[in-house]
Structure 1
């Protein structure tokens, strides 16, 4: 009797596995392959930035300075600036506009805070906000920790949380593999608008 029950259970289990696998395959999108550096466009401003896709980081990060928390109603918000001059690899405008002429200002609700442990330096608490951006022609939303990335090559970093949520594969030896492009605002247009406040 025990043997028969065991075989019946095993048969039921075996017959159910392929069905579950097929259901999962139907729900999953094929992975998208991107380079280790790609252009992203912040949706509120149309600002185009170079972003490094980093499988060693869990949370994405965005260059920000003058980060100031404040209360808005019952919520905790944060204001911050993104100065383009801090990263010299930004493209010039068609009219010769330099990145140093553009400083963008943002306000966002605080999603959470994280404590970053740094080797040889004190731990640092960072604000985390959710932001929409376009990459490879499609719009995504993910968490960004706000930090001064002026000494790094790229103003934005995309971490594993974004990659796993959106089924992204990274080709570590190539950059700018995205076939689809995102519409963006030129430096000339951003400079004409002055400081751009995205609420």
Structure 2
């Protein structure tokens, strides 16, 4: 019995960990996990807006800063409109005279679902959830975002476990902005022109 245990241990030790990860990824048709920092830049696809995102394993659903959130009907379907004021988080690079406070982006999206958020020391809150595409680490992704006012938070975007699981992302909780590739984004002036 001791000899069998020794052989099993020797067999285990003879393969480097990366080979095991690569082999498992190959057999399950998924890629090797990408490691990102606990804070990274994201670029929202339809606007080229660059925002700081916190990658949070404590949250299941991702969330996006949104104000004046209102549901409405469009072609007998549930839709939601909302605004994203750039003055709340001045993440967009500027090359001119445009002030962040002067730019408010408006969005309309179909409602994917609504979610009831339980908050410590406050009443529960129902939030709209929409699907949105964004770029992180040079790659386009789509995930569900709950819409909520994150104006008092350091990061306008929070990326949760659903995104990490679906897109095979690991988090280095000791580091930030470690993505190997960048995403293209627009300047504040370019975004202001699009919003007009």
Task: Please give the range of the TM-score, normalised by the shorter of the 2 chains.
Answer: 0.7 to 0.9
Distance across 1 between alignment mates of 2:111 and 2:46: 17
Task: State whether structure 2 residue 36 is matched by structure 1 residue 56.
Answer: no
RMSD: 1.6
Q: Which residue of 1 aligns with 2:43?
A: 41
Distance across 1 between alignment mates of 2:89 and 2:140: 24
1:95 deviates by: 1.5
Structure of greater Rg: 1
Q: Alignment length, in residue pairs?
A: 174
Distance across 2 between alignment mates of 1:187 and 1:44: 15
| TM-score (norm. length: structure 1) | 0.83
Task: State whether structure 2 residue 6 is matched by structure 1 residue 29.
Answer: no
Q: Which residue of 2 aligns with 1:140?
A: 141
| 1:42 and 1:48 in contact (8 A); partners too | yes
Q: 1:119 to 1:23 in 2, by over 3 A?
A: closer
| TM-score (norm. length: structure 2) | 0.84
Distance across 1 between alignment mates of 2:156 and 2:133: 16
Residue ranges of structure 1 left out of the alignment (5+ in a row) = 1-21
Moved over 2 A (4+): 22-26, 192-195
1:96 deviates by: 4.3
Q: 1:59 to 1:125 in 2, by over 3 A?
A: same
